[in-house]
Amino acid sequence: MPLHEYACKECGRKDTRLVLKPGDEEALRCKKCGSDQLKRLISRVAIHRTESDRMADISTSGTPDESYYSDNRNIGLRAKKRMKELGVDLGDAFEEKLEKARTTTNLDDLTSD
Ligand SMILES: [Zn+2]
């Protein structure tokens, strides 16, 4: 899941937000002062996002070409995405729960989708 940490440029409040598509990011508002001037922070969440981004690029329909299999980092990723599409709970969900547990102030935000 694309969880990103943002800092408000107006009041400095930091929040972890769930951003599913580019438009979501633009619609984000600071929970404290209501400003839309939020800046995405580089954090461990960004590392997590990398795999999500890679996963988003993988097609689970049809057969991947040779270059896909020649990349070791892709091992398991396609299956993981497929399982996700089927609604099977895998490690990624566990990572998200960890992330939620770390950002307890935003539980309502994270569970509202
Ligand atoms: Zn603010």
Q: Which helix (H) or strand (E) holds 38?
A: strand 38-41
Model-level pTM? 0.38
Bridge partners of residue 18, in order along the sequence: 3
pLDDT in tens, 73-88: 666 667 677 777 888 7
pLDDT in tens, 42-64: 755 445 567 777 777 777 777 76
Report the separation in Å between the CA atom of 27 and the middle of ligand 1, taken as the mean of its atom positions: 14
Using an 8 Å Cβ cutoff, are 35 and 11 in contact? yes
Neighbours of ion ligand 1 (CB under 5 A): 8, 10-11, 13, 30, 32-33, 35
- Distance of alpha carbon 84 from alpha carbon 29, whole angstroms: 29
